[in-house]
Amino acid sequence: AAVGKRVLDTGWLAARSTEVSLTGEKLTTTDPPAADPDPTAPWMHAAVPGTVLGTLLKNKLIPDPFYGLNNESIIDIAKSGREHYTFWFFTTFHCAPAGHQHVSLNFRGINYSAEVYLNGHKEVLPKGMFRRHTLDITDVLHPDGKNLLAVLVHPPDHPGAIPPQGGQGGDHEIGKDVATQYVEGWDWICPIRDRNTGIWDEVSISVTGPVKITDPYLVSTFYDDFKRSYLHCTLQLENTSSWLSDCTLKIQVSAEIEGNICLV
Amino acid sequence: EHLQSYEISVPPDSVLEYTIPPLFFYKPNLWWPNGMGTQSLYNVEISVDVNGFGESDSWSHYFGFRKIESTIDDSTGGRIFKVNGEPVFIRGGNWILSDGLLRLTRKRYMTDIKFHADMNFNMLRCWGGGLAERPDFYHFCDLYGLMVWQEFWITGDVDGRGIPISNPNGPLDHDLFLLCARDTVKLLRNHASLALWVGGNEQVPPIDINKALKNDLKLHPMFESNHTTNGSGKYLS
């Protein structure tokens, strides 16, 4: 498999958790949903990254909440209960790493917590809307390269309720969680019925060799009235193999001058 | 001269923090906010090869050489921003988020942010009740020269005000708040447009959270006085 990151933003399906009786293990081993679900099935084509409402709107199962009084016809999570907006998201991907390669599954934003199932193996993604999650999936990938991924996404713990008079942030319960607060409604926006539950940011898989680069930090300092500058860089190198790795680290800084002339 | 390589050994099953010796640049093209100059960006590419296996990982980022400072002006109580030593008149816009269903595509961000640049803004304030904005948002702010004031997830209405007062001590899990804040800083800190982290909107975060944020976000001592002087206050050239 080529070293690098691949974004998983196509071929996703979704279904309301209360309409799926299978477990995550079953969904990602013996009973995956059909790739092209029929309209009667609970499964539908999903918008990932996105929210539950985004997927329901994509499938025309709700009116667009931002037109007229449509939002009033979408049941609020306070009335429906959290399980109504607890959704399964499912996809497949192909990845066949070489012997020394490692593969990570990365979620850049989940609102608000989730359980991940990959080929029958379960991992829990802890709470928090503004945190990344990275799972080493090297050992659970299928030898034939075809992998089944299911994610059960739960709404914020405290979705709150919208008082009849509305107001800034509804009953303020959402403030108990580490999540965006506008979703209970504000003077400039109606309440968001699912409180933005979903895989709301990028999903990707990264293929690396034994050593991977994590969170480089770049800082520039200046001297002599900005004539002299230094670029500082601190990074983490993670050796996921069980042997000492002798590495060559390279840094290259290039600037596009004009058009397609590059100064290296 | 802007291509360096280093030999490093990383022990098995471990994480090594490594600081690359500073790279020298003479008169780099500086990054300026919208209306003050060009938004020069350099493509920084880092790769690691493992002997015997070839390329193991790579990372890249469009980086802007710039120095953004801000202080509270004693006479007005207002915050003064300077970029590359030059004071900036802030023409700021309020930013909450681009779409209530979080359909946040690159194309959408590019359109929204270029629109603000065309309206002659040079700063966007990301309100605490919205999102910690995404790398794509910051990429286009880098490109179009919109500095970003990014608030964490505390708002005056929801945290510690109102009748009765709601959430007087902010979110229930302070460790979770700080874990999310630290991870968000790591996600966004390399963007030239990031100008200011702010505890919250119209409200100071709970004391322990605010103290931790201030500590985590203080300037690294090494960069405190990033000028060397020879005693007479003159800068060594």
Per residue of chain A (264 residues), what is the pLDDT tens digit? 889 999 999 999 999 999 999 999 999 999 999 988 887 789 999 999 999 999 999 999 999 999 999 999 999 999 999 999 999 999 999 999 988 899 999 999 999 999 999 999 999 999 999 999 999 999 999 999 999 999 999 999 999 999 999 889 999 999 999 999 999 999 999 999 999 999 999 999 999 999 999 999 999 999 999 999 999 999 999 999 999 999 999 999 998 766 676 666
Residue A109 confidence (pLDDT): 98
Contact across the interface for B18 and A177, Cβ inside 8 Å: no
| Phi, psi dihedral angles at B221 (to 5 degrees) | -45, -35
The percentage of chain B sitting over the pLDDT mark of 70, rounded to a whole number, equals 94
- Asked if the Cβ–Cβ distance from B166 to A65 is below 8 Å, we say no
Tell me, what's the pLDDT at A99? 86
Instruction: Give me the residue from B58, B130, B177 closest to A3, CB to CB.
Output: B58
Q: How many residues does chain B have?
A: 237
Residue B182's alpha-carbon distances to B171, B188, B189, in angstroms, are: 16, 10, 10
Closest Cα in chain B to A98: B53
Q: What is the pLDDT along chain B (237 residues), one digit of tens a residue?
A: 578 899 999 999 999 999 999 999 999 999 999 999 999 999 999 999 999 999 999 999 999 999 999 999 999 999 999 999 999 999 999 999 999 999 999 999 999 999 999 999 999 999 999 999 999 999 999 999 999 999 999 999 999 988 889 999 999 999 999 999 999 999 999 999 999 999 999 999 999 999 999 999 998 777 766 544 333 333 333
Q: Using an 8 Å Cβ cutoff, are B137 and B109 in contact?
A: yes
Could you report the per-residue pLDDT of B122-157, keeping only the tens digit for each?
A: 999 999 999 999 999 999 999 999 999 999 999 999
In the chain, the amino acid numbered A43 is W
Q: Minimal Cα–Cα distance from A248 to chain B, Å?
A: 5
CA distance A235 to B132: 23
Mind telling me how many Å the CA of B132 is from chain A's nearest CA?
A: 7
Interface test with chain A among B24, B41, B53, by most A beta carbons within 10 Å: B53
Taking Cα atoms as reference points, which of A215, A213, A251, A214 lies closest to residue A231? A251
Whether the CB-CB separation of A20 and A216 falls below 8 Å is answered with no
Place of tokens 């713990």: A157
Residue type, A177: D
Nearest to B115 by CA among B141, B96, B138, B79: B141
- Please tell me whether residue A144 adopts helix, strand or coil conformation: coil
Closest CA to A229 of B67, B85, B45: B67
CA distances from B113 to A49, A66, B94, B102, B119 (A): 20, 21, 12, 16, 10
Cβ contact, residue pair B189, A217, below 8 Å: yes
In whole angstroms, give the CA distance from residue B66 to residue B84: 6
The residue written with tokens 């918008």 in the block is A47
Which residue in the block uniquely carries the two structure tokens 């309209």? A39
Structure tokens at B74: 């004693």
Which residue in B10, B12, B42 is closest to A255 by CB distance? B42
Q: How many CB atoms lie within 10 A of CB B173?
A: 16
Please list the residues that pair with A217 across neighbouring strands: A234
CB A197 within 8 A of CB A56: no
Q: Which residues contact B120 (CB under 8 A, 6 or more apart)?
A: B34, B35, B91
Give yes or no for a contact between B70 and B195, defined as CB atoms under 8 angstroms apart.
yes
- The shortest C-alpha distance from A177 to chain B (Å) reads 5
- Look at the block and give the residue holding tokens 């050489």: B65
Q: What is the ipTM of this complex?
A: 0.95
Say whether B13 and A131 touch across the interface (CB within 8 A): no
CB contact under 8 A, B12 and A243: yes
